[in-house]
Structure 1
Amino acid sequence: MRIVVSDYAASPKSGGTFSILEDFYNDVLQNDSQNEWIFILAGKYFPTSANVRIIVRKDLKQSKIKKLLFELGTGSKFINQYDPDVFISLQNIATLGVQSKLKIVYLHQSIPFYQEHRFSFFKKDERKIALYQRLVGKVIKYTISKVKPITIVQTNWMKRAVVQQTQQKASKIITVSPRVPVINDNQLYKNQQTAFFYPATAYLYKNHQLILDAIRVLNHQGIKNFKVSLTLTKTQLPTANQNVELLGFIPREKVLRMYENHVLIFPSYIESYGLPMLEAAQKADLILAADIEVTHEVLSGYSNVYYFDYRDPVALARLMRRVIEGKVSSDLGPIHLSYRNESLLQTIRRIIEEKI
């Protein structure tokens, strides 16, 4: 069987998007010698084998117009020349016109399905998000509505959103949580009351500003005996507040250690999944999380989470103050993940077995 995978949008500088591709590619390379795999990528990022090869389309990565034309028209001719039995898009869009028995889309971009706020092209800090929400989002929804592929999403809230906004049948949408590393080191949270932590990139929707505003509220109340550590640089978040520690990028091993003596603050209001929450919960960490669907779904049944309105810095400050004053603490009961969710390759194999 010949399987063609499109993910030319991913590159080593694209963070989590590239991690998805890298994990999937390595899984295919190591664990599938039966099928022929063709990956359409922006570069030859990985080794190949007798049955796994890479077709480089760097031009699509460099031009948004060319990318759009590829997805809506020219791409099908290029892909169809390889005569795929299965076509997989790892970049959210269902390429129009592909002639394969089975089409699969891995939909991991949640911004187009967020409807509580309409981001503006006229605000500098919102432009990039507005592009994804209002333009790229329309392409994603249109192609899924048109092609009707099997669509893989990470959470049930995303499944509901896709059904509502694309008229795709629920039976064609599969919810598969990302593969979560199980932590077995038994080093639990130490109920530290004055140290807070938020590992996140600088995207607007990660909501760092809410944390800064909450800190100002606490300072105004005379509370200054605490520290909030963020994985940003001074360039990304210019602030002179003495309660803020800017760590820059730190490796995952250090992130896991930080959970042991820091309360996790998670104010992000757009998430496909929110992996830091499950990592922290395995450490029995105290978590202060935005009150949105995905946080409730990911942390379902976890006893050490407290929710706040992600638009209200006073609500977050109130929770932080309760922690600092020792009125809120962890019961040291971690969330137990006794299993690892199936890999993306395992999910796709299961779909292929059922559909072909």
Structure 2
Amino acid sequence: MIKTTVVSAINIVDGGALTVLQDAMKAFDSNADTEHSVIFLVSNPSVHSGIELKHIKFIYFPLSKKSWFLRLFYEYVYFYLLSLKIKPHTWFSLHDTTPSVKASQRYVYCHNPSIFLKMPLSSALMDPKQFAFSKFYKYLYKINIKKNTSVITQQAWMADEFCKRFDISNVIVAAPDVDIGTKSTQKTDTSTNSDTFKLFYPAYPRYFKNHEIIFKTQHLVKNTSFWLTLSGRENNYTRKLIQQYPLTNISLLGLLQKAEVEERYETCDALIFPSLLETWGLPLTEFKEFNKPIIAADLEYAHETIGNYSKIYWFDPESAESLALAIHRARHKETPDDSKPKVCKHMKILGWDSLATHIIGR
């Protein structure tokens, strides 16, 4: 008898979530066979364009991003009717919500940490959508969450919080399988040989990415250049930053392709990462390969992602003075801070291939 797995991801179309979706597609495609059928529910064909997938079937929902009413209708009404028709053995929701469906095994992948963001009302106008998410998502997460076979997060700190907030214990930590070594770059020790200390922060402009602390800090440090992947026109958040703060020593690079990000990793002197909240923080993992200083927010997600990396300088992400001090220490190669790795007490699965194998039940 063929076992069918449905993966619902109709709300994912761009950004880091799209990378997650595409990694999931590749993993499930390699696990599908004559005994295991996999169906992905997605917004449109563009989310898998350029990816060679031989075994996955798709059902498209082009209206899924039109409104929240439609999104909720699909999750809690239409998907139930669809599950009666498809009769899946397993239903895997890839975007936070636990839909109302009929299936023997049910999983939800929770990668939106908005409910843990402490966003004051005074900042609501900077990013009203993020403010709404920070208040609304805790109710959305709660719906049907106890009906899951397992709830999946990327980090142990988030798993701990889900257990506390929703009174559950069936959480799996599925960490990215990123093979990072250490290598000497072409510009080793440039921090002492260059007049300008070059700091790179690859992040899309959202409130929780905390670009504002860099704008506040720029006048406190001399001979320092901040490279940001912003154009200043993306959204209300960036426009307000540009209006409010002068670009003293900030370079706006705009959105960069992956190869261009790699080039900046090669030529910068250090990575700066002030984000207030992440489910992982991939640049923190990617940059370790270059064996250069990382100046990061002293927060739980960063502790877990960075692990035992030896060239870390922590700072308070709400203090420009703390960031300026961390930059000074990294520039002058002062003794790095101690790493703060997180101990995971939950079931842990490494990489999408292993997670897909677990969910399909092979």
**TM-score bracket for the superposition, by shorter chain length:** 0.7 to 0.9
1:200 maps to amino acid: A
User: Which one of 6, 9, 13 corresponds to residue 8 of structure 2?
Assistant: 6
Alignment of 1:266-281 (within 5 A): 266-281=273-288
Q: Which amino acid aligns with 2:64?
A: L
- Is 1:241 the equivalent of 2:247? yes
Give, in angstroms, the shift of residue 76 of structure 1.
1.0
The answer to whether the 8 A contact 1:2-1:36 is kept is yes
**Contact 2:27/2:356 (8 A) holds in 1:** no
Contact residue 289 and residue 305 of structure 1 kept, 8 A: yes
**Partner AA of 1:250 in structure 2:** L
1:109 to 112, 133, 140: 112
Q: Which amino acid aligns with 2:125?
A: K
- 2:226 corresponds to 1:232: no
Q: Does 1:323 align with 2:330?
A: yes
2:64 pairs with 60, 78, 86, which one? 60
Q: What whole-Å deviation, never above 9, does each CA across 1:81-115 have from its counterpart, x for those lacking one?
A: 1100010101111112x111100111111112x15
Taking a change above 3 Å as real, the CA distance of residues 293 and 228 of structure 1, as seen in their structure-2 partners, is: same
How much does 1:68 deviate?
1.4
Contact 1:121 1:131 in 2 (8 A): no
Quote the residue 1:76 is aligned against: 80
Any conservation in 2 of the 1:231–1:248 contact (CA below 8 Å)?
yes
Inter-partner Cα distance in structure 2 for 1:20 and 1:121: 32
Map of 2:340 onto structure 1: none
What TM-score, normalized to structure 2?
A: 0.83
Which structure has more RCO (C-alpha within 8 Å, separation ≥ 6)? 2
Note the residue ranges of structure 2 that are not aligned, 5 or more in a row.
192-196, 338-348
Quote the Cα distance in structure 2 between the aligned partners of 1:303 and 1:188. Answer: 20
Q: CA deviation at 1:78?
A: 2.2
CA distance in 2, matches of 1:85, 1:152: 18
- Look up the equivalent residue of 2:224 and give its one-letter code: F
Amino acid at match of 1:70: Y
Q: Is the 8 A contact 1:60 1:66 kept in 2?
A: yes
SS of match in other structure, 1:125: coil
Give runs of aligned pairs for residues 157-306 of structure 1, distance below 5 A.
157-169=157-169, 172-182=170-180, 186-187=184-185, 190-193=188-191, 194-218=197-221, 223=222, 225-236=223-234, 237=238, 238=242, 240-260=246-266, 261-306=268-313
CA shift in 2, pair 1:119/1:95, >3 Å: farther
Give distance in 1, aligned partners of 2:230 and 2:140.
32
Indicate if the aligned counterparts of 1:189 and 1:259 stay in contact, CA closer than 8 A: no
1:125-136 alignment runs, 5 A limit:
125-136=126-137
Of all paired residues, the percent bearing the same amino acid is 24
The one-letter code of the counterpart of 2:204 is T
Cα pair distance change 1:319/1:212, threshold 3 Å = same
Cα deviation for residue 251 of structure 1 reads 2.1
CA contact (8 A) 2:217 2:324 kept: yes
Taking the aligned partners of 2:333 and 2:276, their CA distance within structure 1 comes to 26
Is the Cα contact below 8 Å between 1:119 and 1:127 reproduced in 2?
no
Q: Is the 8 A contact 1:7 1:40 kept in 2?
A: yes
Structure 2 Cα separation of the partners of residues 211 and 240 of structure 1? 11
Question: Do the aligned residues in 1 keep the contact of 2:32 with 2:56 (CA within 8 Å)?
Answer: no
- Aligned partner of residue 24 in structure 1, secondary structure: helix
Question: Structure 1 residue 256: deviation in Å?
Answer: 2.5
| 8 A contact 1:188–1:285 mirrored in 2 | no
SS of the residue corresponding to residue 288 of structure 2 reads helix
| Range with greater deviation from structure 2 (196-205 or 179-188) | 179-188
CA 1:101 to 1:21, structure 2 compared with 1: closer, same or farther past 3 Å? same
Once the two structures are superposed, residues 270-314 of structure 1 have per-residue CA deviations (whole angstroms, 9 ceiling, x without a partner) of: 100111111111211101110101111111211110111111011
